[in-house]
Amino acid sequence: QDDLRITLIPGLTTDAFYITMNRGAQAAADALGITVDFQGAEEFDPVLQTPVLDAVIGRGPDAILIAPTDSVQMIEPLRRASEAGIPVITVDTFIDDGKYQDGAGDGDFPFSYIASDNTAGGRMAARYMANQMGGEGKVYVSNVRPGISTTDQREEGFKAEMAESFPNVEVLETQYNENDASLAASQFQAVLARNPDISGVFGANLFSALGAANGVESANKADEVTVIAFDAPTSIVNNISSGLVDAAIAQHPAEIGYYGVMTAYAVLTGNSVPVSIGTGFTVIDANNVNDDATAKFIYSE
């Protein structure tokens, strides 16, 4: 069965995380001698993802790997794939409750969910930050825009962990920057102007973190303010080396892609597969940023 064709639909095509995921998927495809296509929308948005998905279904691949852009809104569109006889596996994000094939819920049909849990990643960021700050101080989340499930979950996990385990850390209002690093920088400076004692920022995606780091740099506050980034493309890693970013919560997108394709292959060849595979996180900070072992977790560009 070497003419199998699997399509990987990322949350958006222009993000190092998903590009790295595709790299992992291609590695698996090469190993298996099958084909994996990469097709997606320009923004993380169900309105844009649905037409792409529809067209992919029209093309009729043997399986679909998808990072659904909304847990509720993508159920109906994905059901069409399932009804057309195309096995669905979700990667990075999930639909419904994320627990598949247990007979409960509207979105029970995907075979497997392979991801590092964004909420858990947010919690991890919170723990790291709180420890850096000695368990007290003011922090805020720099986020893209409301309504994006992955970044919303990171923020949610971050806030939940702070509330549960670090009562002395005050989490200020979230600031939305529309993916504009320049606005994120100006927002940090405004937050700082209001709260001169600010001691941490959690950048929920690349541009939020880049912008926050730049704001910290302009304010000469690199020593006082802890910046945590989610995801680890090279530009964030460079900022860790230079000390502007304290740590990055790196997911393992290549692994997700690799296991995704392997799982799909298993489904297509009639084998049973686990309904969920967790791929975990690596925290990259000044201590390990130059280790050879860390290099493989840095996202490709």
Q: How far is the CB of 49 from another protein (least distance, A)?
A: 10
The answer to whether 150 and 11 are in contact (CB under 8 A) is yes
Q: How far is the CB of 72 from another protein (least distance, A)?
A: 4
Segment interacting with another protein, rule: CB under 8 A, options 125-133, 211-219, 255-263, 278-286: 211-219
Distance CA(69)–CA(149), nearest Å, equals 7
Q: How far is the CB of 89 from another protein (least distance, A)?
A: 19
- Applying the rule CB under 8 A, the residues between 29 and 48 that interact with another protein are 37-40, 42-43, 45-48
Instruction: Select the residue interacting with another protein from 34, 86, 120, 206 (CB under 8 A).
Output: 206
| Residue 145 binding another protein, by CB under 8 A | yes
- Applying the rule CB under 8 A, the residues between 82 and 111 that interact with another protein are 84, 106
Instruction: Select the residue interacting with another protein from 4, 6, 11, 15 (CB under 8 A).
Output: 15
The arrangement of strands across the sheet holding 88-91 comes to: 35-38, 5-9, 63-66, 88-91, 112-115, 276-278
- Give the Å distances, CA to CA, from 86 to 58, 78, 80, 281: 11, 10, 9, 30
Instruction: Select the residue interacting with another protein from 33, 134, 135, 147 (CB under 8 A).
Output: 147
Instruction: Select the residue interacting with another protein from 68, 137, 215, 253 (CB under 8 A).
Output: 215
Who contacts 119 (Cβ-Cβ below 8 Å, separation ≥6)?
153, 154, 156, 157, 160
Write the DSSP string, 241-279: HTTSS-EEEEE-HHHHHHHHHHHHHHHHTT----SEEE-
- Straight-line distance from the first to the last Cα atom of the chain, in angstroms, rounded to the nearest whole number: 32
Helix, strand, coil % in the chain, rounded to nearest 5:
40, 20, 40
User: In the complex with another protein, which residue's Cβ is closer, 17 or 259?
Assistant: 17
- Applying the rule CB under 8 A, the residues between 176 and 195 that interact with another protein are 176-183, 185-187, 189-191, 193-194
Q: How far is the CB of 5 from another protein (least distance, A)?
A: 9
Instruction: Select the residue interacting with another protein from 76, 97, 136, 291 (CB under 8 A).
Output: 76
| Residue 243 binding another protein, by CB under 8 A | no
Binding footprint of another protein, residue count (CB under 8 A): 77
145 token code pair: 């825009």
| Residue 214 binding another protein, by CB under 8 A | yes
